[in-house]
Structures are given as structure tokens and as C-alpha cells.
């Protein structure tokens, strides 16, 4: 694979990263640890360089998994992790917290679990409305100066917040949801990122499996699968939203590609500083996703996909109401 650069400070990675959350939570039972270590190392062998985790995934389990898997190849990869949540004495997530002392404690914990001396890309996972973003960016700046962090990132932050943070410590990348299934970032986020020289790392670039072409209106989401609680995956909403997949399928068939490959190739075609992080736990799906980097979509293909996306009004919110309130806009 070729490379892409996130941010003006210049973090160079392969065009597709790997979202690791699902190896520890949100999509059914947790797979065997050794199986996932082998899988992550297979991703490295295939050219993946950006691996995305967070302290809250598990919680804590995912960082330990990623750290162990990548320890033998640490200098060849980029590890991104996140702070920003509070936990009780039992490790249960209790809300957001980006107080400076919380950030410093989170980073020490992440460094230990990841078995590394430096975090390549440190995101604020969710904006904390009770802590000025200048204090957050200033704390990360101190960690960068101390050599514990290389790059500062933000997740699900609005334009005004990004600008304020960027004025204190340059932001290398923003991570938010973006796909043919969810195009809100195009309104304000992408223009601001381009102006400021900030890279974009879309999570859920396949719409949590929606844009793989594998779901039907009759799909049942099992225990532990977050999609069972998401409004856009409720039966009536899912049935209506599948009209988008039908339209993308037409392009996929013409290109001799899968629906997922077309969806990822569309994202890659939007900006040269976009690096999606599709998550998977299956080697065949990883290979399919990586194939999107070699799929050439013509201007006519892109126009058809844009029209398809615009013609289907997606039903249902991204998250339940409580989670929606944690998004900074």
C-alpha cells in the first residue's frame, strides 16, 4: 500500500488503518486473546501501520491486547489510543473526564498496557464540557514535550472546539464517524480540517457493518452487539436504510468489487488526508478491506455514489439519546 499523511506535523501511515475496539467489546463475545494477537500481527504483515485502541475499550483489555501484539514490531507501526473517560474502583466507565490529572494518569496507564515508551497519536475521546479545551490541549502539549506522546488528536469534536485546541497544541488528526451512511462531517468539519491542516480518521467507515452488504432487514443482533441498541439498526429503520446498499451494490457489481470495498474506496477518494480505520476480527474481511486501496473509482462512479447517498434519507439516530449528548457540535 502507498502512504498518507495526517496533519501538518506529518504522521505518515498506510491509507487504511485497523480499528481494534471490536476485538474487546461491542460486537458479541470476545474472541480468544491469542487468536486476536495472531490477527493483529497478520495485519502488520499485510502492510497496516495504524492501529486504533482506547483505554475505555474493554475497559483496558484492548490496550493490553494491542500492546502485546505489536511489541515485536513496535518501531514499524503507529499506535493511536484515547483518554477522556472516568472509571469507578471496579473499572466501570462512569462518564467523561479530561481534567489534567486524569489525562496524565490515563497516559501512564496506557503506556504501561501498550508496553511502550511513547504514544504515537493520543486522542481526547470525547470533549469534556466541564474542562476548558485549552487546559486539555495544554496538558497534551506538556506530555508531548516530555516525550510521552508524539501527536495530539481529537474525537467527535466540533469546529469551534477544534480551533481552540489547535491554537494551543496543533491537532494532527480528528476521529469521527464518516461514510456513505453518515456524511455530516462534510458540512463544517472537513472544510475546517483542510483549512487547519488536520488529518481525518473516519471510524465506522462501513457503518458498523451496514455497508458490507451482509445485513438484511431480518438480521438479528446477538447479545453484546451494540447494534441491537442503535436506532438506525432497528427493524423498520434498517429495512429503509438498506435502499442505500442496493444502490452501492450496482457500482460494486460493475467494478467487480464488494460493497465494502466500494464504500472504503469512496472515502479514500474524498481527500488525500483521510485514513479510514475499519474494524474487523476476520482475516478474509481484512483482506477485502485492504483491497479497497487499489480500487479505482472514476469521476462517474463517485458521482453515482454521491447521488445514491443523497437520495436515501437515513432513518434513525447514530446513538441512543444518552450517547448522542456526549458528541460536541
Residue with cell 497534551: 140
329 pLDDT more than 80: no
pLDDT tens figures, 89-98: 999 999 999 9
> Confidence band (pLDDT; 50, 70, 90) for 64?
very high
> Confidence band (pLDDT; 50, 70, 90) for 325?
confident
As a whole number of angstroms, the distance between CA 246 and CA 239 comes to: 11
**CA 5 to the chain's CA centroid:** 16
Is 23:184 a contact under the CB 8 Å cutoff?
Answer: no
How high is the mean pLDDT of the chain? 97
Q: Where are the domains of the chain?
A: 4-324
pLDDT tens figures, 262-302: 999 999 999 999 999 999 999 999 999 999 999 999 999 99
pLDDT tens figures, 105-136: 999 999 999 999 999 999 999 999 999 999 99
pLDDT of 307 reads: 97
Single out the catalytic residue among 57, 123, 178, 319. 57
As a whole number of angstroms, the distance between CA 311 and CA 329 comes to: 25
216 pLDDT more than 80: yes
Instruction: List C-alpha distances in Å: 11 to 28, 72, 78, 237, 306.
Output: 33, 21, 9, 38, 29
319 part of the active site: no
> Confidence band (pLDDT; 50, 70, 90) for 164?
very high
Bridge partners for 124 per DSSP: 83, 154
- Joined together, the cell numbers standing for residue 235 give 427493524
Strand order, beta sheet including 149-155: 18-19, 50-52, 78-83, 119-124, 149-155, 171-177, 199-203
pLDDT of 1 reads: 65
CATH class of the domain at 4-324: alpha beta
Q: What angle do CA 265, 158, 208 make, to 5 degrees?
A: 40
pLDDT tens figures, 35-50: 999 999 999 999 999 9
Amino acid at each position: 500500500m502507498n502512504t498518507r499523511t495526517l496533519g501538518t506535523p506529518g504522521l505518515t501511515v498506510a491509507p487504511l488503518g485497523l480499528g481494534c475496539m471490536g476485538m474487546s467489546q461491542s460486537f458479541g463475545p470476545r474472541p480468544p486473546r491469542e487468536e486476536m494477537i495472531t490477527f493483529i500481527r497478520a495485519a502488520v504483515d499485510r502492510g497496516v501501520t495504524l492501529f486504533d485502541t482506547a483505554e475505555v475499550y474493554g475497559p483496558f483489555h484492548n490496550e493490553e491486547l494491542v500492546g502485546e501484539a505489536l511489541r515485536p514490531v513496535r518501531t514499524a507501526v503507529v499506535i493511536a489510543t484515547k483518554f477522556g473517560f472516568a472509571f469507578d474502583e471496579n473499572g466501570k466507565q462512569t462518564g467523561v473526564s479530561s481534567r489534567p490529572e486524569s489525562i496524565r494518569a490515563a497516559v501512564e496507564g496506557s503506556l504501561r498496557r501498550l508496553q511502550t515508551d511513547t504514544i504515537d497519536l493520543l486522542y481526547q475521546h470525547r470533549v469534556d464540557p466541564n474542562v476548558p479545551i485549552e487546559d486539555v490541549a495544554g496538558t497534551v502539549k506538556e506530555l508531548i514535550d516530555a516525550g510521552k506522546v508524539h501527536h495530539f488528536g481529537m474525537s467527535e469534536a466540533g469546529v469551534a472546539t477544534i480551533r481552540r485546541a489547535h491554537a494551543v497544541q496543533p491537532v494532527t488528526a480528528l476521529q469521527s464517524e464518516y461514510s456513505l451512511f453518515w456524511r455530516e462531517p462534510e458540512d463544517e468539519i472537513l472544510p475546517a480540517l483542510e483549512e487547519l491542516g488536520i488529518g481525518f480518521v473516519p471510524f465506522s467507515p462501513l457503518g458498523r457493518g451496514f455497508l458490507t452488504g451482509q445485513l438484511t432487514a431480518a438480521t438479528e443482533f446477538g447479545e453484546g452487539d451494540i447494534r441491537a441498541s442503535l436506532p438506525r439498526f432497528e427493524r423498520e429503520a434498517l429495512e429503509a436504510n438498506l435502499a442505500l446498499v442496493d444502490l452501492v451494490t450496482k457500482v460494486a457489481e460493475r467494478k467487480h468489487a464488494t460493497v465494502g470495498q466500494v464504500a472504503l474506496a469512496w472515502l479514500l477518494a474524498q481527500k488525500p488526508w483521510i485514513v479510514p480505520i475499519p474494524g474487523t476480527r476476520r482475516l478474509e474481511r481484512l483482506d477485502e478491506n485492504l483491497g479497497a486501496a487499489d480500487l479505482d473509482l472514476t469521476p462517474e462512479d463517485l458521482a453515482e455514489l454521491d447521488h445514491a447517498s443523497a437520495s436515501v434519507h437515513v432513518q434513525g439516530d447514530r446513538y441512543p439519546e444518552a450517547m448522542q449528548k456526549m458528541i460536541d457540535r
